[in-house]
Structure formats: structure tokens, C-alpha cells
Amino acid sequence: MKQILSAEEIHSGITRLAAQIREEFAGRSITVIGVLTGSIVFLADLIRQLDLPMRVGVVQARSYRGEQTRPGELTIHAEFLPPVTGEHVLLVDDIFDTGRTLEHLMARFREMRPESLSAAVLLRKAGRAETKFVPQFIGFEIPDDFVVGYGLDFNDRYRNLPYIAVLEGRELHGGSRT
Ligand code: IMP
Ligand code: MG
């Protein structure tokens, strides 16, 4: 496993993002929706750096099944959402890879008629996008490698790492599973 972003670098990236978001929504109240499960750590750190009045909720979108590292079919579970109609909604996700997850979610949320709809991601993978949509707020651009840590998982493991690391061949093929 090779670390590519330290806890300190992530923290300053989020400070930068929070300043952009605060500026965009100054004087308004927002509804922040974390995309489960990968966004939980980022969501917790981001909202604590955002001094805006807000509601916080979650939605689950799963595109990865088990040990696959390429996207599968997307399922969305939206039953735990706060009200979003007429609200300024900010979707928060861990990583923008092909973009399909956020594109689907944006379409689903648009149907709920928010006042505005935007997205913040901690990471964006270079050269992978398959959508026209680009998130308004992006923490870091990273190369096209499979990363874990700070909420991101491989088969639901490694989410607790305080940094972001690239999984290397042997680990991706089960070598590190215990
Ligand atoms: P997209 O729909 O292809 O943009 O994929 C987005 C989702 O796939 C993210 O929310 C992650 O859960 C997952 N994902 C994409 N790339 C990685 C990665 O490198 N590590 C862990 N999860 C990833
Ligand atoms: Mg995810």
C-alpha cells in the first residue's frame, strides 16, 4: 500500500473546499447529503469546517459489489433523507470516478425539486469521466489507481485509515485479506 495523501494534506484540502462552499452559499441555509458509505469520514470533517446553517442527511448508492474494483450496477436507497424540496442541496461523495453514481443521484434529486443542487467530492480520478457533469467542488485530482482509506474501501475494508493510499497488485488480489 502506498500513501498518496497524508492526513494533514487531506485536512488542508478540506479547509480549502469548505472556504469555497461557504463563499458559494453565504447567507443561506443548506442541506448536505452524504453518499453512503464512502463519504462518511469526509462528510464528518467537511461539515465541521462549514459554519453555515445546515441540515445533514444521507443517501446510499452502491455501485461496487464485493471485491470488484470497476463499477457494477447502481442501486439507490433514499429512505433516510431530510426534506429537499425547495432547499439548497449539496451532495457529498468520496470520489468521482466514471461519474455515473453522482450523475444518477443528481438526476434523482432534481426530480425532488431542490432550490439548487450541487456536488462536492474529495477526489477526482484523472481520465475516467464518462459523463458531462463535473462536480462544483473538488478536493484533489488523483491518478487512475484504486485508492482506499479516509472512507474509501476495498470490499468494505480500509475505510478507517486516516490517509489515502493506492492498493497494489497483491493486495487487490486478496494477498492482504486476513
Ligand atoms: P463512479 O460512479 O464511477 O464515479 O464511482 C463512484 C463510486 O465508486 C465512489 O463513490 C466509490 O464508492 C467507488 N470508487 C470509485 N473509485 C474508487 C477507488 O479507487 N477506491 C474505492 N472506491 C472507489
Ligand atoms: Mg461510494
pLDDT in tens, 41-76: 999 999 999 999 999 999 998 765 556 665 556 778
**Residue 155 zone, left/alpha/beta (φ > 0; ψ -120 to 50; rest):** left
What would the pLDDT profile of 20-48 be if each residue is shown by its tens digit? 999 999 999 999 999 999 999 999 999 99
Question: The cell 444521507 sits on which residue?
Answer: 58
- Residue-averaged pLDDT of the chain: 91
Choose the catalytic residue: 51, 97, 144, 145: 97
| Cα–Cα distance, 95 to 102 (Å, whole number) | 9
pLDDT at 46: 98
Q: Catalytic annotation on 45? A: no
Give just the sign of the alpha carbon dihedral 39, 41, 44, 47: negative
pTM summary value: 0.92
Q: Give the pLDDT band (50/70/90) at residue 144.
A: very high
State if residue 71 touches ligand 1 by the CB under 6 angstroms criterion. yes
Distance 95 CA to ligand 1 centre (A): 6
The answer to whether the beta carbons of residues 98 and 131 sit under 8 Å apart is: yes
